[in-house]
Amino acid sequence: MNITHIINLLKAFFIEQKKMLLIAGLVTFGVAAFVFTLDPSSRMILPYSAIFLVVFASKTFQSSLKRNNSVHFFNLPVTAGEKLIQAIFVIIIMGIGVQILSFAGAYIGAYLIHPHINIYSSSLAFNIWANNIFSCEKFLALCVGISVYLFGSIYFTKNSFWKTLGSGIGMLLGFVFYALGLIFIASKVIFGSNWKNFDNATNINIADYAFFQDYYYIFPIAIIVLFLSVTYLRLKETEV
């Protein structure tokens, strides 16, 4: 792993994408300012930032998979691991930038613009930061979404966002039906036709167990590690 290679990849990305990044920054700032001008108590920063980063993650490798760019991208004298780390750093930097621009636009909209267009504006200060503070659960959910869509960006060559979304929904439905099928089979084997006993016996909420309450973060971390690993393997396979 060569740090210099990663830094050079980052420089090349921001030089090549400076126009797109400028437009994205202006849109981020403008949307936040507009929303908080209309409603200073809005809680839109976190959802908006999360959607932006997930969509960006789904587009991370898409331009590299295009026929005109793929040969150049996969012939770069860097390893697949360095390309993946560069992509993760880009998403982190974009996330920080989106948060800064969103909060800047929110404060300008709420404190500078809103009081001048609304004569009935309250004199109470708007605690934008408190309304949009991160929690551990929100952060883990965002990281899971980014890791899943990052894999989708290298697995699907076109329309990766919608294909990843559709695949995720399909897998979730499959898991739900599989779990319900297991419950149905277990109920028949154990309780037979006596459904009253089954109803009383299956009143279980797995989240109430102390282990899952204290170590709930293990599952999302495992998903993040899994999808980052398969993204690396897919990237390496695509290079070959």
At 202, the pLDDT band (50, 70, 90 cuts) reads very low
Give the Cα separation of 7 and 189 in Å (integer): 60
Which range is most confident: 87-91, 178-182, 184-188, 206-210?
A: 87-91
Q: Tell me: pLDDT of 29 over 60.
A: yes
pLDDT for the residue 206? 47
Residues 6+ apart with CB under 8 A from 110: 36, 37, 40, 126, 128
| pLDDT tens-digit readout, 84-106 | 888 889 888 888 888 888 888 88
Q: What is the percent of the chain with per-residue pLDDT over 90, rounded to a whole number?
A: 0
Cα 40 to Cα 121: distance, rounded to the nearest angstrom: 10
The band of 123, judged by pLDDT with boundaries at 50, 70 and 90, is: very low
In the chain, domain spans: 3-239
Pick the residue with more confidence: 223 or 213? Answer: 223
In 3D space, the residue among 63, 152, 54, 41 whose CA is nearest the CA of residue 95 turns out to be 54
Note the pTM of the prediction, 2 decimals: 0.73
